[in-house]
Amino acid sequence: MMMDQKELCMLVVVILACSTDAMTRQQLKNSSKMLKKNCMAKIGVAEDLIGNIEKGQFIEERDVMCYIACIYQMTQVVKNNKLNYEASLKQVDIMYPPELKDSAKAAIEKCKDISKKYKDICEASYWSAKCMYEYDPKSFIFA
CATH number at residue 126: 1.10.238.20
* DSSP E strand boundaries for 6-139: 78-79, 82-83
Q: How many angstroms separate the CA atoms of 51 and 127, rounded?
A: 17
Domain that holds residue 97: 5-18+25-139
Residue 4 pLDDT level (bands cut at 50, 70, 90): low
Confidence of residue 2 (pLDDT cuts 50, 70, 90): very low
Query: Residue 122's closest CA among 74, 81, 80, 79?
Result: 81
Considering its fold, how many domains does the chain have in total?
A: 1
Residue 21 has pLDDT above 70, yes or no: no
pLDDT at position 19: 45
Q: Say how far residue 58 (Cα) sits from the centre of its chain.
A: 14
Find the mean pLDDT for residues 60-79.
96
**pTM of the full predicted structure?**
0.82
| Cα gap 137→143, rounded to integer Å | 14
Closest C-alpha among 107, 126, 119, 108 to residue 49: 126
Query: For residue 24, what pLDDT band results from cuts at 50, 70 and 90?
Result: confident
pLDDT score for 123: 98
